[in-house]
Amino acid sequence: MKVFILILVSISGLMAQLPQANIPASESTRKNTYCNPMDINYQYNWEQTNEKISYRSGADPVVINHNGVYYLFHTIQGGYWRSEDLSDWRYIKPSRWPMEDMCAPAAWSKGDTLFLFQSTFESRPIFYTTTPETGQLEFYNRWLPRWPLDIGPWDPALFYDEDLKEWYMYWGSSNVYPLFGAQLDKDRKLTYKTSYKYMFKLHPEEHGWERFGQDHTSDIKPFMEGAWMTKHKGKYYLQYGAPGTEFNVYANGTYVSDKPLGPWEYAPYNPVAYKPGGYMQGMGHGCTFKDNFGNYWNMGTPWIAVNWNFERRIDMVPAGFTPEGEMFSISRFADFPHKLPTNKWTKPEELFTGWMLLSYKKPVIVSSVKDKMNGENLTDENPRKFWVAGTNKEGENAVIDLLESKMVHALQINYTDYKSDVYDSAEPRVYIQFRIFASEDGKSWTKIHDNTNEKRDRPNAFIELEKEVKTRYIKVENVHVPVPNLAISDIRIFGKGNQGTPETPGKFAATRDTDSRNANIKWQKVPNVTGYNIRWGIAPDKLFQTYQIWHDEPAEKQIRSLNKGVKYYFAIESFNENGVSNLSEIVEVD
């Protein structure tokens, strides 16, 4: 995100303040599942180039569990969201907001008070509220003093240590400077109690995942950002994002200490949140929070990059700690539907619904096409390619042929901003409406979902059907979009096919490269698969890392995210529309 910082600071005066009317609770439909990217009303941003470009975006999420209710803050949104179940998020426009819209915010809950602070290189106040559901914010202090030029605090994180009864702040956003930390003075309105202290910096020469570029292939100096602190069983886990938001490998890592300001020890199992393959790629710069059942979650920032490189979304994955205190998150099938928590899980993998992707590369017929943006883009699992209809009028539609009748449980419709003209998300026209139909023969249609009774902006709408439907054809019909062009990147259909699960890939091989930050992976393809998951970790029972590969890609991959001096274990599995194969033999890689 850090080239972005320089741009953002220079154009902050041009950025629109982006409120939107609150969504009445009656218009929210409770779901039992969720699917990444998060289904919220991302607010419109814009930049001035040769012509105005407007687009929805979100990044750098912070979720705070405040007295059993969840509050979501993220970059350039003009407000924040509230949810009681991690499913239905209601947008709240606050009574007052910082001097410029909030970028990469910090927030913390202590007792009945929620604290909020923005990224800044200037003197800025900390806000607080005891009624966050109303949007009523007050000044807790007026001005947190400014550090020397370029020190920040940009990308800050607030942390209150319940054991020590002390406050701390961590921050950093640069490919020059490290992360910093300082103690705050609880008796002087959380001004700085100590000077800033060096925490740690990146070491891409040792840590492969900290290298910049697509699949870590660039020599550009990487960026460190997005501090977040979690305390677990007496240990401090200071998390950070790297190597840059505009690539598929954006990830979160952690250092560990016995003290809130270090010294710090690098976690050899890093990264702790990583998703370089699949539909949603990247999950760096987020936070870790605990839900009402005691389960951990990790938030992140996947990459869209249609209108510019810093167009992004928000995702949420289950996380936790091993008995040995190793932090992890589960990115396997992270952009497939998962169950919302209803209790304390035994293993976070149990949240996966088992609903598989039915729509990959399936034939599509669309009602019209504009600017050669064809319907085949709707099923390619690439958010940077999209269909544009000839008009934005009601009745424009896309029909996906699943090739045979299958059980459909859920859909996700991912809209794209193509030559959009919205500069204020509070405009009355800013909502999306559609209808979904099913058919066995492509001629006689049954309506299975209709959201025209509500006015919500849902650019990544996830629809969990009230009852699964057996069907061959799915039609998504436009009713209303708030922009001149009806543009959709992907219509993703989830459910179950009619055949068996696929075979386990054969001849699996994993070898360490001459550069030990890399491993070379090869396997033998098997028939009737949608794709493969390369899985790895630092122990056979800790294969927390996943790289998803589609079946029409080569049967080899170089994994470039390893830490020098760490032994790894690799395996592979295949998946199709019916389920997942058994895991291959686990290969030790020294």
Nearest to 273 by CA among 322, 239, 313: 239
Separation CA 437–CA 420 (nearest Å): 27
Non-local CB neighbours of 372 within 8 Å, separated by 6+ positions: none
Distances (CA, A) of 540 to 388, 545, 563: 46, 12, 17
Is the predicted pLDDT of residue 7 greater than 50, yes or no? Answer: no
pLDDT of 51 reads 60
pLDDT grade for 30, boundaries at 50, 70 and 90: low
Query: Quick one: which H or E segment has residue 175?
Result: none
What is the mean predicted confidence (pLDDT) over 478-505? 97
pLDDT of 135 reads 95
| pLDDT tens by residue, 516-565 | 999 999 999 999 999 999 999 999 999 999 999 999 999 999 999 999 99
Ranking 17-26, 218-227, 254-263, 477-486 by mean pLDDT, the lowest is 17-26
Q: What share of the chain is helix, strand, coil (3-state, %, to 5)?
A: 5, 40, 55
Non-local CB neighbours of 440 within 8 Å, separated by 6+ positions: 405, 471, 472, 473
Separation CA 17–CA 578 (nearest Å): 46
- Please count the CA atoms within 13 angstroms of the CA of 76 that sit on its side-chain side: 26
CA dihedral over 273, 274, 280, 283, signed as positive or negative: positive
C-alpha torsion 147→148→149→151, nearest 10:
-60
Tokens 């990146």 found at = 202
3-state SS, residue 407: strand
pLDDT of 506 reads 95
| pLDDT tens by residue, 127-174 | 999 999 999 999 999 888 889 989 999 999 999 999 999 999 999 999
Is the predicted pLDDT of residue 13 greater than 50, yes or no? Answer: no
pLDDT of 100 reads 78
Tokens 């218009």 found at = 27
Separation CA 265–CA 288 (nearest Å): 19
Q: Which domains does the chain have, with CATH numbers?
A: 63-351 (2.115.10.20), 357-496 (2.60.120.260), 506-589 (2.60.40.10)
pLDDT grade for 29, boundaries at 50, 70 and 90: low
Tokens 């026209």 found at = 429
What are the helix and strand counts (H, E) for the chain? 1, 41
The amino acid that residue 268 corresponds to is: P
pLDDT of 99 reads 67
Is the predicted pLDDT of residue 6 greater than 80, yes or no? Answer: no
Q: Which residues of 358-374 are buried (b: 16+ CB within 10 A; e: fewer)?
A: bbbebebebbeebeebe
Nearest to 63 by CA among 316, 271, 240: 316
Residue 538 tokens, joined: 């630092």
Q: What are the residues facing 490 on neighbouring strands?
A: 414
What is the mean predicted confidence (pLDDT) over 403-412? 98
pLDDT of 309 reads 87
